[in-house]
Amino acid sequence: MSFYNYIAFASALLIVLLVLVQTRGASLGAGLGGAGEINTTRRGTEKTIFQITIITIIVFTGSLLLGIISA
């Protein structure tokens, strides 16, 4: 197992955790497309978690591509 595989695995776990931490609506119905707010603005901690999620996804994608290229 290469270094890139370890990075991909760790970032995949981190992505799952970050997505689960993000709250979008108050109930299960809101998460499934029910009565939720349409326009929201991310502020504070929610914005930071969202940005870290995007960076982690970029790291995950890059490690997969580098793993494929180096194989």
Q: Could you report the per-residue pLDDT of 16-47, keeping only the tens digit for each?
A: 999 999 876 554 445 555 555 566 677 888 88
Long-range contacts of 48-53 (CB under 8 A, 24+ apart): 49/18, 49/21, 49/22, 50/22, 52/18, 53/15, 53/18, 53/19, 53/22
Report the pLDDT value the prediction gives residue 8, as an integer from 0 to 100. Answer: 94
Report the pLDDT value the prediction gives residue 13, as an integer from 0 to 100. Answer: 97
Mean pLDDT of 53-60: 96
Q: What percent of the chain lies above the pLDDT cut of 70?
A: 76
Report the pLDDT value the prediction gives residue 10, as an integer from 0 to 100. Answer: 96
Tell me the residue length of the chain: 71
Tell me the two tokens of residue 70.
Answer: 């180096």
Q: What percent of the chain lies above the pLDDT cut of 90?
A: 54
